[in-house]
Amino acid sequence: MSAGLFAGLSLDEPRIFGIINTTPDSFSDGGEALSPDDAINRGRKMLEEGADILDVGGESTRPGADPVSVDEEITRIEPVVRGLVELGAVVSIDTRRAPVMTAAIAAGAKIINDVTALTGDPDSLGVAAESGLPVVLMHMLGEPGTMQDNPQYDDAAPDVFKYLKDRVAACEAAGIDRDCIAVDPGIGFGKTLRHNLEILNRLDLYKDLGCPVLLGVSRKSFIAKISGEEDPKRRLAGSLAASVAAFSQGVRLFRVHDVAETRQALAVCQAIEGA
């Protein structure tokens, strides 16, 4: 994958985005960090465990999720972003809405992470370009509420690659430098188990894109479909297995719930690779 830097961090080693969902309905940790104090304390713990970036979201995008109002999303994330920045954290804002991006940037966020690859709001591409901040472009087929209703691809891995290639080009045309762009294939976002596995098996495709890949596999339902484990919090082993496989294909950015465990697993991978 792309070497160099992303958001000022060297990609010579794996980098971890710690997930902080200030939502009541996220699939794995909904309600656990709903108050600003709880969210900030969770972020503090993740920093201690080795998180490089804290990814704050105020709207669940799990399959079947209902949208929340822009005002509610801002109310959820703004004090959390400010509090985490005061701790010295590099904060990423996980949103698909331009006003939320703007509020988070004003509060100190340094990365924009958009599940719609800056297509979900007509103003989001302009906000991102004007901010000069790094962006993460994710692939999602459809909307969270319906994305798992029989998703179809001609060939999942190259189809997702082509979509992200086109979005990178659109961002460059809007004035966002390629060095400021990472891509996320969107595991579980409008994809069957077979689609997810095909994409995870072909992450080498992104070497041709020249952008770092952010992978989000943590605790996701494809692990349950393989292993039979229905409790998201008991899917750590599967999450680590997928992350290790991705690391071997050059992925260096990982969005996770379990920071310490992922850090350890990837440190061992890197040590073996470098021996």
Contact 85, 106 (CB under 8 A): no
Q: Which residues contact 55 (CB under 8 A, 6 or more apart)?
A: 17, 18, 19, 20, 91, 92, 93, 94, 111, 113, 255
Domains of the chain and any CATH numbers: 15-274 (3.20.20.20)
Predicted local distance difference test score (pLDDT) of residue 2: 44
Q: Is 255 a catalytic residue?
A: yes
> Which residues is 145 bridged to in the sheet?
none
Report d(CA 25, CA 56) in Å as an integer: 14
Contact 39, 81 (CB under 8 A): no
- CA-nearest of 180, 189, 187 to 212 is 180
Position 1 pLDDT exceeds 50: no
Model pLDDT for residues 175-230, shown as the tens digit of each residue: 999 999 999 999 999 999 999 999 999 999 999 999 999 999 999 999 999 999 99
**Which listed residue (15, 96, 255, 263) is catalytic?**
255
**Which listed residue (110, 220, 235, 263) is catalytic?**
220
Contact 57, 67 (CB under 8 A): no
Position 28 pLDDT exceeds 60: no
Q: What is the pTM of this model?
A: 0.94
**Would you tell me how many other CB atoms lie within 10 Å of the CB of residue 273?**
9
Model pLDDT for residues 34-84, shown as the tens digit of each residue: 789 999 999 999 999 999 999 999 998 877 777 889 999 999 999 999 999
Q: Is 207 a catalytic residue?
A: no
